[in-house]
Amino acid sequence: MRRERVPIAVGILAASGAAFFILPLLGLIVRSPWGDAIKALTAPDTVEALKLSLVASLSATVIALVFGVPLAWVFARVEFRGRNLLRALTTLPMVLPPVVGGIALLLAFGRRGLVGSWLDSTFGITLPFTTAGVVMAETFVAMPFLIITVEAGLRSMDRRYEEAARTLGAKRWTVFTRVTLPLIGPSLFAGAVLCWARALGEFGATITFAGNFPGVTQTMPLAVYLLLGTDHEASYILSLVLLVISLGVLVALRHRWLGSA
């Protein structure tokens, strides 16, 4: 292809748009107390928070895949009354202020919640204020990203491949795992990356539903938040760590989840 030339107006607008994202980041970098960086990063709380953040966000992504892919499939493929409503419901965590999301989670899965009280009395399971609770809060907030992306992938895939598989005798589950999933690979991947990124930055729902216990439920965003009150410059450093990690993953994978380089 001939190299694309950029219309001037487009170039100017795009550059301003990019500046809008770069400047705040620059601000963080410039104002960070780089002298204290090592100290801030090696503090035991920081290391623990980082570990927890990674573990929880990855678990949330896995759970979102397990439940979100079937849900996206149903949205894309099965017609039923209330589908539009249900579909919109699953995107609500994107709209809900996360703190409210956390409260809603407590109302449902807390020890006094609709389901939580039954879980507690029957199995002795309580979810809030545990690492499982962190994973749950992150899944709640991040899963819509996966669902939306995968549903779009399912809708744009050529369904005739599934039909071809069926004419070859493949049962529905085989079609799903051996044809559908591989064919929507890029969307699946994109959805998972977005979901993971959102989970990594989750704050409001986590602190509300899971609390803020170092080593158990204190993820990086919570650690950053607590530092803001006292040593806010150290908090910039932690934010940058969070940024660099996700930046690394996004840069490394983005050409894959966008489909081409």
Partner 1 sequence: MSLEANVRLTLGALDLDIELSVDEAEVVALLGPNGAGKTTLLRAVAGLVPLTSGYVKLDGRVLEDAASGKYVPTERRSIGVVFQDYLLFPHLSVLANVAFGMRSRGMPSHEAAEKAAQWLDRVGLSAYVQDKPDALSGGQRQRVALARALAPDPRLLLLDEPLAALDVTTRAEVRRDLKRHLTTFPGLRLVVTHDPLEAAMLADRLVVMENGRLVQTGTPAEVTERPRSQYVADLVGVNLLRGQADHGSVRISDDSVIAAAAAESGDVFAVIHPRAVALHLRRPEGSPRNAWPGRVSGVEMLGGRVRVRVEGDVPLVAEVTPAAISDMQVAEGGEVWVSFKSTDVGVYPA
Partner 2 sequence: GSGGTIQGSNLSDYASVFAAASLTDSFKALGSAFQTAHPGITVQFNFAGTPTLVTQIEQGAAADVFASADTTNMDKLKADGFTSANSQVFAHNKLEIVVGAGNPKHITGLADLAKPGVIYITEAATVPAGKYALQSLASAGVKVTPKSLETDVKSVVSKIELGEADAGIVYVTDVKAAGSTVAGVPIPDSVNVIATYPIVAIKGTPNLDVADTFIAYVLSADGQAMLQSFGFLPAS
256 scored as a contact of partner 1 (CB under 8 A)? no
- Stretches 67-75, 108-116, 166-174, 237-245: which one binds partner 2 (CB under 8 A)? 108-116
Distance CA 21, CA 184 (A): 30
235 scored as a contact of a second copy (CB under 8 A): yes
Residue 96 makes contact with a second copy by CB under 8 A: yes
Instruction: Considering only CA atoms, give the Rg of the chain.
Output: 21
- Which of 160, 229, 251, 261 is in the footprint of partner 1 by CB under 8 A? 160
Residue 106 vs 136, nearer CB to partner 2: 106
Residue 99 in contact with a second copy, rule: CB under 8 A: yes
Q: Which of residues 192-221 bind partner 2 (CB under 8 A)?
A: 207-208, 210-214, 216-218
User: What minimum distance in Å lies between the beta carbon of 30 and partner 2?
Assistant: 13
Separation of CA 117 from chain center: 27
d(CA 78, CA 88): 15
Angle at 56 between CA 76 and CA 69, to 5 degrees: 10
Q: Cβ neighbours of residue 205 under 8 Å, at least 6 residues apart? A: 93, 98, 99, 101, 102, 105, 137, 138, 140, 141
Choose among 199, 210, 161, 166: nearest CA to 183: 161
- Judged by the rule CB under 8 A, the positions of this chain that interact with partner 2 are 99, 103, 106-107, 110-113, 116-117, 120, 126, 128-129, 207-208, 210-214, 216-218, 222, 225-230, 232
